[in-house]
Amino acid sequence: TRITNKRTRYYKMVVILLLILIIVILLLTHLIRHYSPIISTITGLAAKYACSSVFIANRTVEQQRKENIISSHLKCVTMTVDNNDLSASASLFGFASRKAIYRPGLGATLISGLTEKQIRSQKFNLPSPPNVNQDNIPWPMGDKIVDDSVPSNINQKALENAINSLFIEKNPKVPIRTHAVVVVYDGKLIGEKYASGFSRKSKLLSMSLAKSITSTLMGILVQEKGLNIDEPAPVPEWININDPRHNITTRNLLQQTSGLDFQESYSKNCDVLRMLFIEGDMGHYAASLPLSDEPGSKFVYSSGNTNILSRIIRQQLGDKDYYSFPYEKLFYKIGMNSFVMEVDASGTFVGSSYAWGTARDWARYGLLYYNRVASSDGHGGGRYGFQFYLNKPATKDTTKRRFPNVPTDAFYAAGVQGQDVFIIPSEKLVVARLGATTASDYEWGADEFLAAVINATK
């Protein structure tokens, strides 16, 4: 009887343990299914930025964790770099391993949508970089400062104090992490500074500064190919005249008024994260989304719109000319020789987010627009032109503007966490600031800083 009771208790215990095991397995299966896209996004993000940082910016994984603009997402992620394979991989507790590969001239590409073999077998007609030493070429085409005298109206001490202020962490809990600042007055480089570990040779990530680059490339395309931005945009997914998206114009895409139902919230499963870290053809993904608003009726900031523009440029030019186009028509013409634009798995430049250049190159880009006029028919409350922000008063409230201490003719390219290039024609200024600011609205003190720089040039 005792033996029988022991056996009964044993079998009951086995059944209970099996039931618990089944419940745990079902629960884990549910959690993995539910959170798999999120985990895959996180590891994809980590692999992509690790690959770019190591092979483009010459940073280490350890430096990336401390300095990179997405470092807060990487604490539990394991990242490894293969220098022989020119790749980086990432996983979260062994799950959702993702890989990005580096290809010279193309940057880092996350393996998405296509196999690694398919991506590596792609052929590109890349241009040869200028065979020059920019250290021996005068600014702005080169880095040699021939005349280091400062214009007599510049208060050098005040300018130095203004620049230095951006490298002082006043609130350690919310650091602004400025990496580089370059100030140009009337075409002359009058001030610059870099954080420890960075220099004028350091390549820095654009994030959404790349949107303005894409706008410039679209402008060149319009000039050279005669594309009418007020006609329906040449997007294959919208070619059917009965498709409500057929009425979306290239102007709508440029001004962020396409009406596409694209979520830029950076929350779990949002469109922008899926596009950047899950989809292989980013432009196609964005173009496949339905409408949420009538085209042209509402401003909604969208990285998807910009990647559609990038794909339009590719389709209009053809692959034979597409990959040399930004370099030969823009970058190399104005001395942006360090610049790298990265492609997605389909081979299209990620025009919304992935461009790398030195702080001086970003200042050169600002100089291209110096004394030029941004679009006057802004959207987003009157504050957005063609992939540039405008410092105009808001349409509904003429007393308010983004930077109240900065003239209304100022316009600027801007990227997440404080990547900014300001053009202020009336003050003869171009200012580039790059960093890794995580404060609310990525506030690093731009208004006060620009006001101080303006006062220093009076």
- Whether residue 374 is predicted with pLDDT greater than 60 in this model: the reply is no
- Report residue 104: phi and psi, to 5°: -55, 135
| Tokens standing for residue 366 | 């600002």
Number of helices and strands in the chain (H, E): 13, 13
CATH number at residue 230: 3.40.710.10
Q: Say if residues 130 and 161 touch (Cβ distance below 8 Å).
A: no
Q: What is the overall mean pLDDT for the chain?
A: 90
Q: What does the radius of gyration of the chain's CA atoms come to, in whole angstroms? A: 25
Q: 1: domain range?
A: 1-121
- Whether residue 192 is predicted with pLDDT greater than 70 in this model: the reply is yes
- The vertex-221 CA angle with 219 and 225, nearest 5°, equals 130
| Tokens standing for residue 2 | 């005792």
The answer to whether residues 180 and 60 belong to one domain is: no
The answer to whether residues 177 and 52 belong to one domain is: no
202 in a domain, yes or no?
A: yes
Tokens 């931005």 sit on residue: 229
- Whether residue 14 is predicted with pLDDT greater than 60 in this model: the reply is yes
127 in a domain, yes or no?
A: no
The answer to whether residues 416 and 279 belong to one domain is: yes
Domain count across the chain: 2
- Whether residue 395 is predicted with pLDDT greater than 70 in this model: the reply is no
The whole-number pLDDT of residue 174 equals 86
What does DSSP say about strands 107-110 and 95-103: parallel, antiparallel, or unpaired?
antiparallel
The whole-number pLDDT of residue 119 equals 97
Of residues 9 and 332, more confidence is placed in 332
Q: Say if residues 158 and 458 touch (Cβ distance below 8 Å).
A: no
Mean pLDDT of 4-33: 74
422 in a domain, yes or no?
A: yes
Shortest CA distance to 266 belongs to which of 342, 214, 208? 208
- Whether residue 363 is predicted with pLDDT greater than 90 in this model: the reply is yes
Last residue of a domain, one of 121, 144, 167: 121
- Whether residue 34 is predicted with pLDDT greater than 60 in this model: the reply is no
Residue pLDDT, tens place only, 87-141: 999 998 888 899 999 999 999 999 999 999 999 999 999 999 999 999 999 999 9
| Helical spans, DSSP H, in 226-298 | 250-254, 271-277, 282-287
**CA–CA dist 307, 310 (Å, integer):** 5
Last residue of a domain, one of 94, 121, 148: 121
Tell me if residue 99 falls in helix, strand or coil.
Answer: strand
In the chain, pLDDT over 90 holds for what percent of residues? 73
The whole-number pLDDT of residue 93 equals 81
- Whether residue 57 is predicted with pLDDT greater than 80 in this model: the reply is yes
The answer to whether residues 114 and 164 belong to one domain is: no
The whole-number pLDDT of residue 382 equals 66
Shortest CA distance to 217 belongs to which of 378, 328, 375? 328
The confidence band for 84, taking pLDDT boundaries of 50, 70 and 90, is very high
| Tokens standing for residue 79 | 């990242």
The answer to whether residues 191 and 323 belong to one domain is: yes
- Whether residue 212 is predicted with pLDDT greater than 80 in this model: the reply is yes
399 in a domain, yes or no?
A: yes
